[in-house]
Amino acid sequence: MTDVLLEYGVRAIVHCAGRTLVGESMRDPGAYFDANVGGSLSLLNAAVKANVRYLVFSSSAGVYGHPDQIPIPEHVRPDPQNPYGESKLLVERMIRWFAEVHGLRAVSLRYFNAAGADPDGEVGECHDPETHLIPSILNALLDDRPVSVFGCDYPTPDGTAIRDYVHVSDLATAHVRALQYLDDDEAAAFSIFNLGSGRGFSVTEVIAEVEQVTGRSLKRVDRPRRPGDPPILVADITQAVESLGWKPTMDLREIIRTAWTWHQKVRSGPFPRVRGERPRPDRVRAARRPSGRLRPSRPRRPSEHAGAVAASTSPLTTPPHRRHAPATPAPAAAQAAPAAPRPRWPAAWPRWAG
Protein backbone atom coordinates (compact mmCIF):
# COMPACT_ATOMS: atom_id res chain seq x y z
CA MET A 1 0.00 0.00 0.00
CA THR A 2 2.87 2.38 0.78
CA ASP A 3 4.25 1.91 -2.74
CA VAL A 4 0.91 2.88 -4.28
CA LEU A 5 0.63 6.01 -2.14
CA LEU A 6 4.18 7.02 -3.08
CA GLU A 7 3.73 6.24 -6.77
CA TYR A 8 0.72 8.55 -7.10
CA GLY A 9 1.94 11.22 -4.70
CA VAL A 10 -1.17 10.95 -2.51
CA ARG A 11 -1.57 13.89 -0.11
CA ALA A 12 -5.01 13.07 1.32
CA ILE A 13 -6.99 9.90 2.01
CA VAL A 14 -10.76 9.56 2.37
CA HIS A 15 -11.16 6.31 4.31
CA CYS A 16 -14.64 4.82 3.70
CA ALA A 17 -13.74 1.13 3.65
CA GLY A 18 -14.98 -1.31 6.27
CA ARG A 19 -17.71 -3.65 7.43
CA THR A 20 -20.94 -1.94 8.47
CA LEU A 21 -23.65 -4.42 9.58
CA VAL A 22 -24.50 -4.29 13.28
CA GLY A 23 -26.17 -7.70 13.36
CA GLU A 24 -23.28 -9.36 11.57
CA SER A 25 -20.83 -7.79 14.00
CA MET A 26 -22.70 -9.39 16.90
CA ARG A 27 -22.31 -12.81 15.25
CA ASP A 28 -18.70 -12.39 14.10
CA PRO A 29 -16.92 -9.64 16.05
CA GLY A 30 -13.50 -10.89 14.99
CA ALA A 31 -14.21 -10.12 11.35
CA TYR A 32 -15.10 -6.53 12.28
CA PHE A 33 -12.02 -5.91 14.39
CA ASP A 34 -9.85 -7.53 11.73
CA ALA A 35 -11.28 -5.53 8.80
CA ASN A 36 -12.15 -2.22 10.44
CA VAL A 37 -9.40 -1.91 13.04
CA GLY A 38 -6.66 -4.03 11.48
CA GLY A 39 -7.26 -2.68 8.00
CA SER A 40 -7.27 0.91 9.25
CA LEU A 41 -4.01 0.35 11.16
CA SER A 42 -2.37 -0.91 7.97
CA LEU A 43 -3.63 2.17 6.13
CA LEU A 44 -2.38 4.54 8.83
CA ASN A 45 1.08 2.96 8.87
CA ALA A 46 1.29 3.21 5.08
CA ALA A 47 0.09 6.83 5.17
CA VAL A 48 2.82 7.81 7.61
CA LYS A 49 5.52 6.09 5.54
CA ALA A 50 4.26 7.81 2.38
CA ASN A 51 4.07 11.24 4.06
CA VAL A 52 0.31 11.59 3.51
CA ARG A 53 -0.80 14.81 5.18
CA TYR A 54 -4.59 14.53 5.51
CA LEU A 55 -7.09 11.81 6.40
CA VAL A 56 -10.89 11.91 6.42
CA PHE A 57 -12.42 8.91 8.20
CA SER A 58 -15.99 7.68 7.74
CA SER A 59 -17.12 6.91 11.27
CA SER A 60 -20.57 6.24 12.68
CA ALA A 61 -23.15 7.40 15.19
CA GLY A 62 -22.90 3.81 16.43
CA VAL A 63 -20.07 4.96 18.71
CA TYR A 64 -22.62 6.78 20.92
CA GLY A 65 -24.64 3.73 21.99
CA HIS A 66 -27.52 4.89 24.20
CA PRO A 67 -26.78 8.60 24.76
CA ASP A 68 -28.46 10.60 27.52
CA GLN A 69 -28.54 13.80 25.46
CA ILE A 70 -30.71 14.30 22.36
CA PRO A 71 -29.77 15.79 19.90
CA ILE A 72 -26.33 14.23 20.33
CA PRO A 73 -23.31 16.57 20.35
CA GLU A 74 -19.82 15.31 19.59
CA HIS A 75 -18.61 15.69 23.20
CA VAL A 76 -21.03 13.06 24.54
CA ARG A 77 -19.09 10.16 26.04
CA PRO A 78 -19.00 7.29 23.52
CA ASP A 79 -20.53 4.00 24.66
CA PRO A 80 -20.86 1.62 21.69
CA GLN A 81 -23.26 -1.30 22.17
CA ASN A 82 -21.93 -3.63 19.48
CA PRO A 83 -18.61 -4.64 17.87
CA TYR A 84 -19.32 -2.47 14.80
CA GLY A 85 -19.57 0.71 16.89
CA GLU A 86 -16.63 -0.37 19.03
CA SER A 87 -14.47 -0.90 15.94
CA LYS A 88 -15.24 2.60 14.69
CA LEU A 89 -14.37 4.10 18.07
CA LEU A 90 -11.07 2.19 18.21
CA VAL A 91 -10.12 3.52 14.77
CA GLU A 92 -10.89 7.08 15.90
CA ARG A 93 -8.61 6.60 18.89
CA MET A 94 -5.82 5.25 16.67
CA ILE A 95 -6.16 8.23 14.33
CA ARG A 96 -5.96 10.65 17.25
CA TRP A 97 -2.65 9.16 18.36
CA PHE A 98 -1.24 9.08 14.83
CA ALA A 99 -2.17 12.77 14.54
CA GLU A 100 -0.42 13.59 17.80
CA VAL A 101 2.71 11.49 17.24
CA HIS A 102 3.22 11.66 13.47
CA GLY A 103 1.68 15.03 12.59
CA LEU A 104 -1.13 13.54 10.50
CA ARG A 105 -4.10 15.91 10.27
CA ALA A 106 -7.42 14.13 10.34
CA VAL A 107 -11.19 14.47 10.58
CA SER A 108 -13.64 11.82 11.69
CA LEU A 109 -17.15 12.16 10.26
CA ARG A 110 -19.76 10.37 12.34
CA TYR A 111 -22.58 9.44 9.97
CA PHE A 112 -26.07 9.04 11.27
CA ASN A 113 -28.43 7.21 8.86
CA ALA A 114 -27.00 7.60 5.37
CA ALA A 115 -29.74 7.07 2.80
CA GLY A 116 -31.00 8.02 -0.66
CA ALA A 117 -29.43 7.59 -4.08
CA ASP A 118 -27.62 9.56 -6.75
CA PRO A 119 -30.13 12.12 -8.11
CA ASP A 120 -29.23 10.98 -11.65
CA GLY A 121 -30.14 7.40 -10.77
CA GLU A 122 -26.67 5.96 -11.48
CA VAL A 123 -25.74 4.73 -7.98
CA GLY A 124 -27.98 3.57 -5.15
CA GLU A 125 -28.06 1.79 -1.81
CA CYS A 126 -28.17 -1.99 -1.69
CA HIS A 127 -26.83 -4.47 0.86
CA ASP A 128 -26.70 -8.22 1.21
CA PRO A 129 -28.53 -8.84 3.45
CA GLU A 130 -30.54 -5.61 3.44
CA THR A 131 -30.90 -4.18 6.94
CA HIS A 132 -31.41 -0.45 6.31
CA LEU A 133 -34.93 0.85 6.68
CA ILE A 134 -35.58 2.83 3.49
CA PRO A 135 -34.27 0.27 0.96
CA SER A 136 -36.03 -2.47 2.95
CA ILE A 137 -39.33 -0.62 2.61
CA LEU A 138 -38.82 -0.02 -1.11
CA ASN A 139 -37.90 -3.65 -1.72
CA ALA A 140 -41.04 -4.71 0.13
CA LEU A 141 -43.13 -2.44 -2.10
CA LEU A 142 -41.59 -3.81 -5.27
CA ASP A 143 -42.02 -7.42 -4.10
CA ASP A 144 -45.56 -6.80 -2.83
CA ARG A 145 -44.80 -8.10 0.64
CA PRO A 146 -45.05 -6.59 4.13
CA VAL A 147 -42.15 -4.75 5.74
CA SER A 148 -40.95 -5.79 9.19
CA VAL A 149 -40.99 -3.13 11.91
CA PHE A 150 -38.67 -4.09 14.75
CA GLY A 151 -39.93 -2.65 17.99
CA CYS A 152 -43.26 -0.93 18.56
CA ASP A 153 -42.92 -0.29 22.30
CA TYR A 154 -40.13 2.29 22.40
CA PRO A 155 -40.63 5.42 24.56
CA THR A 156 -41.43 7.53 21.49
CA PRO A 157 -44.71 9.19 20.39
CA ASP A 158 -45.77 6.29 18.12
CA GLY A 159 -43.73 3.52 19.77
CA THR A 160 -41.25 3.03 16.91
CA ALA A 161 -37.57 4.00 16.90
CA ILE A 162 -36.54 7.48 15.76
CA ARG A 163 -33.54 8.06 13.50
CA ASP A 164 -31.83 10.94 11.72
CA TYR A 165 -31.50 10.49 7.92
CA VAL A 166 -28.96 12.27 5.73
CA HIS A 167 -28.67 12.04 1.94
CA VAL A 168 -25.53 10.47 0.46
CA SER A 169 -24.97 13.49 -1.80
CA ASP A 170 -24.86 15.73 1.29
CA LEU A 171 -22.40 13.30 2.86
CA ALA A 172 -20.19 13.53 -0.23
CA THR A 173 -20.20 17.32 0.04
CA ALA A 174 -19.23 17.05 3.71
CA HIS A 175 -16.14 15.02 2.79
CA VAL A 176 -15.02 17.72 0.37
CA ARG A 177 -15.57 20.37 3.06
CA ALA A 178 -13.58 18.25 5.53
CA LEU A 179 -10.60 18.16 3.15
CA GLN A 180 -10.81 21.92 2.69
CA TYR A 181 -10.98 22.32 6.47
CA LEU A 182 -7.82 20.25 6.94
CA ASP A 183 -5.96 22.42 4.43
CA ASP A 184 -6.46 25.39 6.75
CA ASP A 185 -3.44 25.81 9.04
CA GLU A 186 -5.71 26.92 11.88
CA ALA A 187 -7.63 23.64 11.92
CA ALA A 188 -7.11 21.23 14.82
CA ALA A 189 -4.90 18.19 14.26
CA PHE A 190 -7.87 15.87 14.87
CA SER A 191 -11.54 16.84 14.78
CA ILE A 192 -14.85 14.98 15.00
CA PHE A 193 -18.09 16.10 13.33
CA ASN A 194 -21.61 14.68 13.33
CA LEU A 195 -23.29 14.36 9.93
CA GLY A 196 -27.06 14.20 9.97
CA SER A 197 -30.06 16.38 9.30
CA GLY A 198 -30.61 17.43 12.90
CA ARG A 199 -34.16 16.08 12.80
CA GLY A 200 -35.48 12.64 13.67
CA PHE A 201 -38.21 10.54 12.06
CA SER A 202 -39.86 7.45 13.47
CA VAL A 203 -40.20 4.23 11.49
CA THR A 204 -43.93 4.86 11.20
CA GLU A 205 -43.29 8.36 9.84
CA VAL A 206 -40.81 7.03 7.27
CA ILE A 207 -43.33 4.43 6.10
CA ALA A 208 -45.98 7.12 5.73
CA GLU A 209 -43.59 9.30 3.74
CA VAL A 210 -42.73 6.39 1.44
CA GLU A 211 -46.44 5.86 0.77
CA GLN A 212 -46.78 9.56 -0.07
CA VAL A 213 -43.83 9.57 -2.47
CA THR A 214 -44.65 6.29 -4.23
CA GLY A 215 -48.43 6.53 -4.16
CA ARG A 216 -48.61 2.93 -2.92
CA SER A 217 -49.92 1.42 0.30
CA LEU A 218 -47.55 -0.67 2.37
CA LYS A 219 -48.31 -3.63 4.61
CA ARG A 220 -46.32 -3.93 7.83
CA VAL A 221 -45.61 -6.66 10.35
CA ASP A 222 -44.69 -5.66 13.90
CA ARG A 223 -41.82 -7.65 15.36
CA PRO A 224 -39.83 -7.57 18.64
CA ARG A 225 -37.00 -5.10 19.15
CA ARG A 226 -33.56 -5.98 17.86
CA PRO A 227 -30.87 -6.21 20.57
CA GLY A 228 -28.85 -3.03 20.97
CA ASP A 229 -31.19 -0.69 19.05
CA PRO A 230 -31.55 2.62 20.96
CA PRO A 231 -34.94 4.39 20.96
CA ILE A 232 -33.70 7.71 19.53
CA LEU A 233 -30.61 8.82 17.59
CA VAL A 234 -30.63 12.40 16.31
CA ALA A 235 -27.52 14.45 15.51
CA ASP A 236 -26.52 17.85 16.75
CA ILE A 237 -24.81 19.19 13.61
CA THR A 238 -23.85 22.60 14.99
CA GLN A 239 -20.11 21.90 14.82
CA ALA A 240 -20.26 20.77 11.18
CA VAL A 241 -22.28 23.85 10.22
CA GLU A 242 -19.92 26.25 11.99
CA SER A 243 -16.53 24.66 11.26
CA LEU A 244 -17.07 23.01 7.87
CA GLY A 245 -19.64 25.43 6.47
CA TRP A 246 -21.75 22.37 5.71
CA LYS A 247 -25.50 21.96 5.89
CA PRO A 248 -27.74 19.22 4.46
CA THR A 249 -29.77 20.30 1.44
CA MET A 250 -32.04 17.25 0.92
CA ASP A 251 -34.89 16.37 3.24
CA LEU A 252 -36.50 12.99 3.93
CA ARG A 253 -38.87 13.27 0.96
CA GLU A 254 -35.98 13.86 -1.45
CA ILE A 255 -34.05 10.98 0.12
CA ILE A 256 -36.97 8.64 -0.51
CA ARG A 257 -37.67 10.01 -3.99
CA THR A 258 -34.11 9.46 -5.22
CA ALA A 259 -33.95 5.99 -3.64
CA TRP A 260 -37.29 5.02 -5.21
CA THR A 261 -36.14 6.22 -8.64
CA TRP A 262 -32.99 4.13 -8.41
CA HIS A 263 -34.75 0.98 -7.18
CA GLN A 264 -37.29 1.21 -10.01
CA LYS A 265 -34.50 1.73 -12.56
CA VAL A 266 -32.59 -1.32 -11.35
CA ARG A 267 -35.71 -3.51 -11.31
CA SER A 268 -36.62 -2.51 -14.85
CA GLY A 269 -33.09 -3.15 -16.18
CA PRO A 270 -31.66 -6.36 -17.69
CA PHE A 271 -32.08 -8.11 -14.33
CA PRO A 272 -35.42 -7.45 -12.61
CA ARG A 273 -34.06 -7.43 -9.09
CA VAL A 274 -31.46 -5.66 -6.99
CA ARG A 275 -28.24 -7.11 -5.70
CA GLY A 276 -28.76 -8.93 -2.43
CA GLU A 277 -32.11 -10.53 -3.26
CA ARG A 278 -32.38 -14.21 -3.98
CA PRO A 279 -33.21 -15.10 -7.59
CA ARG A 280 -36.91 -15.80 -8.13
CA PRO A 281 -37.93 -18.47 -10.68
CA ASP A 282 -40.80 -16.33 -11.93
CA ARG A 283 -38.45 -13.42 -12.68
CA VAL A 284 -35.29 -14.85 -14.18
CA ARG A 285 -34.45 -17.53 -16.69
CA ALA A 286 -32.17 -20.29 -15.48
CA ALA A 287 -29.20 -22.06 -17.00
CA ARG A 288 -27.67 -25.22 -15.59
CA ARG A 289 -24.04 -25.27 -14.49
CA PRO A 290 -21.87 -28.33 -15.17
CA SER A 291 -22.22 -29.12 -11.45
CA GLY A 292 -25.98 -29.36 -11.82
CA ARG A 293 -26.76 -26.19 -9.87
CA LEU A 294 -28.92 -23.50 -11.39
CA ARG A 295 -27.75 -19.97 -11.99
CA PRO A 296 -29.68 -17.02 -13.40
CA SER A 297 -28.75 -16.51 -17.02
CA ARG A 298 -27.46 -13.23 -18.39
CA PRO A 299 -27.20 -11.73 -21.85
CA ARG A 300 -24.01 -12.49 -23.69
CA ARG A 301 -21.33 -9.86 -23.84
CA PRO A 302 -20.22 -8.86 -27.33
CA SER A 303 -17.02 -10.91 -27.03
CA GLU A 304 -19.06 -14.05 -26.34
CA HIS A 305 -21.05 -14.05 -29.57
CA ALA A 306 -20.18 -16.62 -32.22
CA GLY A 307 -17.36 -15.57 -34.52
CA ALA A 308 -15.89 -12.95 -32.21
CA VAL A 309 -13.10 -15.15 -30.87
CA ALA A 310 -12.07 -18.69 -31.83
CA ALA A 311 -12.72 -21.05 -28.93
CA SER A 312 -9.79 -22.82 -27.31
CA THR A 313 -9.81 -26.60 -27.00
CA SER A 314 -6.74 -26.90 -24.79
CA PRO A 315 -7.33 -29.35 -21.93
CA LEU A 316 -5.85 -26.73 -19.62
CA THR A 317 -8.43 -24.11 -20.48
CA THR A 318 -11.51 -26.04 -21.60
CA PRO A 319 -13.88 -27.63 -19.03
CA PRO A 320 -14.30 -31.43 -19.40
CA HIS A 321 -17.92 -31.16 -20.52
CA ARG A 322 -16.85 -29.01 -23.51
CA ARG A 323 -13.94 -31.14 -24.77
CA HIS A 324 -16.16 -33.20 -27.03
CA ALA A 325 -15.06 -31.72 -30.38
CA PRO A 326 -12.56 -29.29 -31.84
CA ALA A 327 -13.83 -25.76 -32.24
CA THR A 328 -14.52 -24.46 -35.74
CA PRO A 329 -12.10 -21.62 -36.52
CA ALA A 330 -13.72 -18.28 -37.13
CA PRO A 331 -13.54 -16.81 -40.65
CA ALA A 332 -10.46 -14.73 -41.43
CA ALA A 333 -12.56 -11.57 -41.68
CA ALA A 334 -14.01 -12.20 -38.24
CA GLN A 335 -10.56 -12.86 -36.79
CA ALA A 336 -9.21 -9.61 -38.18
CA ALA A 337 -12.20 -7.53 -37.09
CA PRO A 338 -11.63 -5.39 -34.00
CA ALA A 339 -13.34 -6.58 -30.85
CA ALA A 340 -16.63 -4.90 -30.04
CA PRO A 341 -16.42 -2.41 -27.15
CA ARG A 342 -17.35 -3.85 -23.78
CA PRO A 343 -20.67 -2.41 -22.57
CA ARG A 344 -20.88 -0.20 -19.51
CA TRP A 345 -22.64 -2.28 -16.87
CA PRO A 346 -25.03 -0.70 -14.37
CA ALA A 347 -23.66 0.45 -11.00
CA ALA A 348 -25.63 -2.27 -9.22
CA TRP A 349 -24.90 -5.16 -11.60
CA PRO A 350 -25.69 -8.30 -9.63
CA ARG A 351 -22.74 -10.29 -8.36
CA TRP A 352 -24.14 -13.51 -9.76
CA ALA A 353 -24.18 -12.01 -13.25
CA GLY A 354 -20.50 -12.83 -13.70
Residue 144 DSSP SS3: coil
Phi, psi angles (nearest 5°) of residue 85: -60, -40
Helix orientation angle between 252-267 and 133-143, rounded to the nearest 10 degrees: 40
130 HSE (CA, 13 A, CB side): 19
What the chain holds in terms of domains, given with CATH numbers, is 2-267 (3.40.50.720)
Residue 302 binned pLDDT confidence (cut-offs 50, 70, 90): very low
Residue 266 binned pLDDT confidence (cut-offs 50, 70, 90): confident
Sign of CA dihedral 42, 48, 49, 55: positive
Q: What pLDDT does residue 322 have?
A: 43
339 pLDDT more than 80: no
298 pLDDT more than 50: no
Summarize the confidence of residues 65-89 as an average pLDDT: 93
Phi, psi angles (nearest 5°) of residue 12: -145, 145
84 pLDDT more than 90: yes
* Residues sharing a CB contact under 8 Å with residue 213, sequence separation 6 or more, in sequence order: 253, 256, 257, 260
Q: Report the distance separating Cα 303 and Cα 294, nearest Å.
A: 23
User: For this structure, is 84 an active site residue?
Assistant: yes
Contact indicator for 59, 175 with CB cutoff of 8 Å: no
Q: Among 51-55, 273-277, 317-321, name the most confident range.
A: 51-55
Q: What pLDDT does residue 336 have?
A: 52
Q: Report the distance separating Cα 12 and Cα 177, nearest Å.
A: 13
Summarize the confidence of residues 273-301 as an average pLDDT: 41
The pTM for the full model equals: 0.74
Lowest mean pLDDT among 119-123, 194-198, 213-217, 298-302: 298-302
Contact indicator for 137, 205 with CB cutoff of 8 Å: no
Contact indicator for 230, 65 with CB cutoff of 8 Å: yes
Nearest C-alpha neighbor of 72 from the set 258, 185, 219, 233: 233
Summarize the confidence of residues 152-180 as an average pLDDT: 95
Residue 182 DSSP SS3: helix
275 pLDDT more than 80: no
Long-range contact pairs involving 34-43 (C-beta distance under 8 Å, separation at least 24): 36/84, 36/87, 36/88, 36/90, 36/91, 37/87, 37/90, 37/91, 37/94, 40/15, 40/91, 40/94, 40/95, 41/94, 42/1, 43/1, 43/13, 43/15
Sign of CA dihedral 64, 65, 70, 76: negative
Catalytic residue among 32, 84, 111, 154: 84
What mean pLDDT, rounded, does the chain reach? Answer: 81
User: What digits encode the pLDDT tens for the residues 114-130?
Assistant: 999 998 888 888 777 78
